[in-house]
Structure 1
């Protein structure tokens, strides 16, 4: 491109996002502008190029369809935007070299990461962690995330995912609750207050009470009564306080079990989870030293923390 030509950077971003979402509305949500603004930027780019980028429908809310020329150009435009993002990241590294943007779930932060983070900071004192906790699958590009830990099956588009830890699911309660209640066989659980974890959708393979009980040979029961909590750390805290029996995720419960705040019930029943924890980051940032240092530290800690 001629250096004197106008640089339609925002318009290129609007075009790429519109092509990916198939609509100006989807692009607008990602870019935090209005759909009209996205449409105006794309039209401005089309006027400058002298050719259309999308076939526009005059009826309904049909998805945008790219023209043949736009389809040919999109891979190069996308690659260029990615390279630009890397260049800007390098500049940001120069200005804020000590900041690492990390995303994890609230429960993973509370029960696993924060109790260990001092060891990373002692190893890499020049790096400051900026932690975002959310149950949502955060858009790394839109939120400027460098690296994170996600719980799932390891498949997330446009992200590299390396397994951090496998997990097992089992019942836990406080030692005093165990002493006061009759918990000799798994079937005894049906007479107790069960604490349900609602933080993960069972549709993706999350182990629920009915699945665990069937694995333990307890059938013809509907274990749906009890306390329901949408935070795994709070589920464990409720069990620690003697509110009932929780179905624990082994990684999150590890420290409480070691400290004696929780007691595992029926260890002879092994129910591994189909889901696991993964270190997740964008491929174009894989070579950043601060990301590599944090990723390597996570893997070391995971090896040391496995029960």
Structure 2
């Protein structure tokens, strides 16, 4: 008997043995009772043994032989393992959606142009990206992982250091020329300063005032005037357009500098205690999709 037919016959035998009825087994397997009977007879011929006999009691019904009854638990366990294997194969082909949250500015200037590399490395994972400015509730909003900027202390989340920025002035190359070219920090007084106030409540977040003080330019630059913008990416785009000088952050401006849209008029930089962290719920760090996203982010940060 060929293997597929043999498997079908064993399935018919298991169903009949469970129901002790050709009719019930046929309904479960969506075949006719005659087909069930034919498969059982074929299996008995192949095994050269009887699997069922009729009860001699008043009601004529099927009864498993002793040998068939002894084999039934292992046969049923085998079909259960087979079903699990089939489901595992189906799951391996299914696409898995990973919901992640990323600060909008980092997404704009660093994360989104790298996503294609994640998709190429993990083709079975689709990213659903949340760019909300607020700190999302990972459990309530069913978020798997993400990136947060801060001290690394969020009680409900596991956090792994990703990367840290330095802060320094950036501007359009056009501001290095013209009537008041940027040559020294004092020349900043001839151009609007662009203030990123997106984290004004975080004392550790560098500002023009802290940069001026820490780089020895106190009293040289009037750091209170200019434009105030509550979005880091928008502040950078304003600098690119030539409408002022922004205090740039390494990971948000490195690509614009490399591609010539921004320049650093002065080398002085200010470090920052805040940093970016990969975060996820404390109960899902072992999930393959979360582990893959985390590993990919760490690799990207290490190859900046």
Are residues 146 and 247 of structure 1, via their aligned partners in 2, closer, same or farther at CA, if it must alter by over 3 Å?
Answer: same
Largest Rg, 1 or 2: 2
Question: Hey, what's the Cα distance between the residues in 2 that align with 1:146 and 1:243?
Answer: 39
Are residues 240 and 105 of structure 1, via their aligned partners in 2, closer, same or farther at CA, if it must alter by over 3 Å?
Answer: same
| Maintained 8 Å contact 2:211/2:269 | no
Q: Deviations over 1:219-248 (max 9, x none)?
A: 235412111111111111111110010000
Q: What's 1:212 paired with?
A: 211
Question: Hey, what's the Cα distance between the residues in 2 that align with 1:208 and 1:144?
Answer: 35
Q: Among residues 126, 129, 134, which one is paired with 2:124 in the alignment?
A: 126
Question: Hey, what's the Cα distance between the residues in 2 that align with 1:94 and 1:139?
Answer: 29
Match status 1:299 vs 2:298: yes
Q: What's 2:281 paired with?
A: 282
Instruction: Determine helix, strand or coil for the equivalent of 2:195.
Output: strand
Matches within 5 A, 1:129-208: 129-180=127-178, 181-208=180-207
Matches within 5 A, 1:70-149: 98-149=96-147
Q: What's 1:260 paired with?
A: 260
| Maintained 8 Å contact 2:167/2:272 | yes
Question: Hey, what's the Cα distance between the residues in 2 that align with 1:120 and 1:105?
Answer: 18
Moved more, 95-104 or 198-207: 95-104
Question: Hey, what's the Cα distance between the residues in 2 that align with 1:296 and 1:204?
Answer: 31
Q: Deviations over 1:68-95 (max 9, x none)?
A: xxxxxxxxxxxxxxxxxxxxxxxxx999
| Maintained 8 Å contact 2:170/2:265 | yes
Gaps of 5+ in 1: 1-92
Instruction: Determine helix, strand or coil for the equivalent of 2:300.
Output: helix
How far did 1:188 drift? 2.0
Question: Hey, what's the Cα distance between the residues in 2 that align with 1:285 and 1:179?
Answer: 53
| Maintained 8 Å contact 1:169/1:249 | yes
Q: Deviations over 1:31-61 (max 9, x none)?
A: xxxxxxxxxxxxxxxxxxxxxxxxxxxxxxx
Q: CA RMSD in A?
A: 1.8
Are residues 131 and 124 of structure 1, via their aligned partners in 2, closer, same or farther at CA, if it must alter by over 3 Å?
Answer: same
Gaps of 5+ in 2: 1-90
How far did 1:186 drift? 1.5
Question: Hey, what's the Cα distance between the residues in 2 that align with 1:204 and 1:210?
Answer: 12
Q: List, as ranges, runs of 4+ consecutive aligned residues in structure 1 with deviation greater than 2 Å.
A: 93-97, 201-204
How far did 1:204 drift? 3.7
Q: What's 2:37 paired with?
A: none
Are residues 287 and 246 of structure 1, via their aligned partners in 2, closer, same or farther at CA, if it must alter by over 3 Å?
Answer: same
| Maintained 8 Å contact 1:202/1:208 | no
Matches within 5 A, 1:15-54: none
TM-score of the superposition, structure 2-length normalised?
Answer: 0.67
Q: What's 1:24 paired with?
A: none
Q: What's 2:61 paired with?
A: none
How far did 1:202 drift? 4.7
Q: Deviations over 1:146-177 (max 9, x none)?
A: 00101111111121111100110000001112
Instruction: Determine helix, strand or coil for the equivalent of 1:243.
Output: coil
How far did 1:203 drift? 3.0
TM-score of the superposition, structure 1-length normalised?
Answer: 0.66
Question: Hey, what's the Cα distance between the residues in 1 that align with 2:281 and 2:94?
Answer: 19
Are residues 119 and 286 of structure 1, via their aligned partners in 2, closer, same or farther at CA, if it must alter by over 3 Å?
Answer: same
